[in-house]
Structure formats: structure tokens, C-alpha cells
Amino acid sequence: MKSSFFIPILLASLFSAILVLSGLSYCCSNALFWFRASRATGTVTSLRTFNRLVSTPTVEFDVESSAYSFRGYVPSNRRFVGERVAVLYLPQNPHVAQINTFREFWAHPLFMVAWGALCGWGVRKSWLHGRSKAETDAETP
């Protein structure tokens, strides 16, 4: 196999491995948060708009007669002020909170794992193709 082919394959393999491992770490972190978190119902109090198309909500919720607020992570065009949303928060630190939806909670880490696996599959296909091409080139005089 040519050395000029080896470096891009190595870098792409490293990239895909980092994506998969980061996504899995993010999934584990979210799962741990999900198991430790308490549930509440919050209200969207404002929307921070980006590019006039999507916005991130600010959500306010009450825990033992104290009000807490946080900003959602995932931009969306589906939220509106006054909407009631399910909230997960850490009982020992209610400032650490998240909207309890699949998109807010799991979409990003699962996307990272899927994209990393797809890149890894592409690297493997490319490496096998390059290897078989090198073997056929070696066989021809």
C-alpha cells in the first residue's frame, strides 16, 4: 500500500473513532443525568431567535416554591411562548436542567455516533478498495 494513501486513511479513522467515542460518552452522560434527574413541568417564557427561522426557548419551572430558568439546547421553530414542557433537573442543583424530549436529549449524541460509524464504514471500504487495488497492481508485471 502506498504511504500517500495511508495518512488520509489514518486521519479519517481517527476522526470517525473520536466521533463515535464522543457520541457514546455523551449518551452515557445524558443517561446518567436522566436517571438522577427529577421531573417538573415548565413554561416557555421567551424565545431567542436565530436567522428568523429557528429559536431556542427559555424555560421557567418551580421547585419547592423557587423559580428556576434555563435556555434550551436545540434550536427549533416548534416552540411558542406560554407552551408547557416537561423538564428534567438535578435535585441538588436545579439550575442544571433540560427539556425532556427525544430531540433535546438524545438526537445530538446519536447523530455523532451514527456519523462516526458512517465515516468508519467509508474508511473501511476505502481502505479495502485501496488494498485490493494495490494487490492487483503488484500482480501485474
Residue range 60-82, pLDDT digits in tens? 999 998 999 999 888 877 888 99
Q: Note the helical H segments in 37-106.
A: 102-105
Q: Residue 97 phi/psi, 5° resolution?
A: -145, 160
Q: Report the distance separating Cα 48 and Cα 79, nearest Å.
A: 11
46 three-state secondary structure: strand
Residue 139 scores a pLDDT above 80 = no
Radius of gyration (C-alpha) of the chain in whole angstroms? 23
The average pLDDT across 50-68 equals 89
- Give the mean model confidence (pLDDT) for residues 22-26: 92
Spatial CB neighbours of 29, under 8 Å, sequence gap ≥ 6: none
In a 10 Å sphere around its CB, with 0-12 CB exposed, 13-18 middle and 19+ buried, how is residue 3 labelled?
A: exposed
Query: What is the spatial distance between Cα 81 and Cα 8, in angstroms, rounded to a whole number?
Result: 48
Stretch among 3-7, 63-67, 94-98, 106-110 having the lowest mean pLDDT? 3-7
Least confident window among 39-48, 56-65, 121-130: 121-130
Mean pLDDT of 110-125: 86
pTM of the model: 0.71
Question: How many C-beta neighbours within 10 Å does residue 29 have?
Answer: 11
Mean predicted lDDT score pLDDT of the chain: 84
pLDDT value at position 3? Answer: 55
